[in-house]
Each structure stands twice: as C-alpha cells, then as structure tokens.
Amino acid sequence: MTATTPLFTDDAYLRDCTAVVVALDEKGVILDRTVMYARSGGQPGDAGTLTWAGGEAVVTEAVKGEAGAIVHALAPGAAPPPVGAEVTVAIDWTRRHRHMRMHTTMHLLCAVLPGIYATGNQIGAEKSRLDFDLAEPPAKEWLTEKLNALIAAGHPTGTRWIAEEELDANPAMVRTLSVQPPRGAGRIRLVRIGPEDAPVDLQPCGGTHVARTSEIGRVEVTKLESKGRQNRRIHFVLVD
C-alpha cells in the first residue's frame, strides 16, 4: 500500500489540497497526499469532502491504513472517485479548528500538572477529557484559572523533529502512559508551546495545534472524576 503524505504535519492551517487517488479498499479512498488528519492519539480524524470531475463524496472520517496510508472513509452509499483521478480534498474547518484548540489545551493541562503522567484522553469538538495518574487533583476552579492564564499569555507553538535516540535519552518528554510516540521511522515530532529556550510544554505529538495559545479562547474545567485509586479524569470545554 502506498503511504499518504500528511500535509497537516507541516501546516495545520491548510484547509484543502489537490491529490491523486492511488487505491480504493473496503474502508475508503487512499490518496497520494491529504490535508485530513487521520484519527490517532485521542484526536478524531477529519471529515470533509472529495470532489472531482463529475463527482463529489462526503468523507465521514480519515483513519490510518497500512504502511503509512491514510484512508478517507466515505458516507454510506457514496460512490468513490476512480483510481488515478485528481480530487480536491477539503476539510470541515470549523470542526478541525475546535480539535486544534482542544488539543493545545490538553498540552497546557500537562504544563499545569508538571511531572504527572497522562493515562488517557479523548478530544472532541464540544468537550474533551484528559486522565492523569493523580491521587488528589487540584480543584477545577484552580485548574480553570491556571489554564486561562497560559492561554491569555499568547504563547507561540511550534514543531521540530528529533531522532528516536534523543527521545530515548530524555524519556521524561513523554507525558502519556496510554499513547506512545510511533516508532520505526527514525525520528519523532515534538510539539512545543512557548519559546524554544524556555518552553511551557514540550512533548512528542503528531496532532494538529493552534499557532498561538490565545487562539484557544477561554476554557472551563467542568468536572473531575475518579476512575480508580490513582486515576483522575479532568473534563473541559471551550467557552469562547
């Protein structure tokens, strides 16, 4: 199977692109490149449309296929474009941008709780949650205040790549116990919040993020749940 070039890795603000259909399978359409993020790491895959000469189809979600392929799952009953066709891929930007705002907030939540490992997460357009290996979490009001202070500071975000060996030498950069960075490609993508010389947060991540924390808008921690002796679930929503 042919790998799909993930354009969102270098530019999370691309809303559409042209691509060529390289294969079809029972799960959907595989393209040579795409702006659609494939579901992974707790972040849902993008939805949107494929259009081509003489046709259009709704993509319900982009998901990972084999050997680096990204599969564009179509709405039930939709006719796929033919192999070899040039298509325009367009994402549901409103939904994606909310995922970006949520995902960056999750990284800020890790910054608010330094040294505490995340044990699970789920990103949604309307609400999200992050689980921590934490016996006694701070009050939700305290978490809300700390998050909004970091958001209002307008910290820039950025990415860079490191060798897998560099991550092995700095295992503390991995803040999650449930999701580990993908291995085998020889390099790992880092997402940084704040300046390079003094980051607010720095951890491996393949997801999409806003360019500056102020783009998130206000958030609110709505609920804290106990999910075991040492597992606490923190729910939050976007307010603005």
pLDDT in tens, 20-62: 999 999 999 999 999 999 999 899 999 999 999 999 999 999 9
What is the DSSP code (8-state) at residue 104?
H
pLDDT in tens, 58-99: 999 999 999 999 999 999 999 999 999 999 999 999 999 999
The residues pairing with 159 across neighbouring beta strands, listed in sequence order, are: 191
58 and 79 Cβ atoms separated by less than 8 Å:
no
Give the distance, in angstroms, between the CA of residue 211 and the centroid of all CA atoms in the same chain: 13
| Backbone angles phi and psi of 101, in degrees to 5 | -65, -45
Q: Are residues 78 and 102 in the same domain?
A: no
Q: Are residues 104 and 178 in the same domain?
A: yes
Name the domain boundary from 32, 63, 91.
91
Q: What is the three-class DSSP state of 32?
A: coil
Range of the domain at 198: 96-238
Q: How many C-alpha atoms does 58 have within 13 Å on its Cβ side?
A: 6
Q: Are residues 160 and 227 in the same domain?
A: yes
Q: What is the three-class DSSP state of 208?
A: coil
Q: Are residues 57 and 122 in the same domain?
A: no
Name the domain boundary from 91, 123, 148.
91
Q: Are residues 117 and 193 in the same domain?
A: yes
Q: Identify the CATH number of the domain in which residue 197 sits.
A: 3.30.980.10
Q: How far apart are CA 129 and CA 67, in angstroms?
A: 30
| Backbone angles phi and psi of 3, in degrees to 5 | -70, 150
The total number of structural domains that make up the chain: 2
Q: Identify the CATH number of the domain in which residue 66 sits.
A: 2.40.30.130
Q: Are residues 68 and 106 in the same domain?
A: no
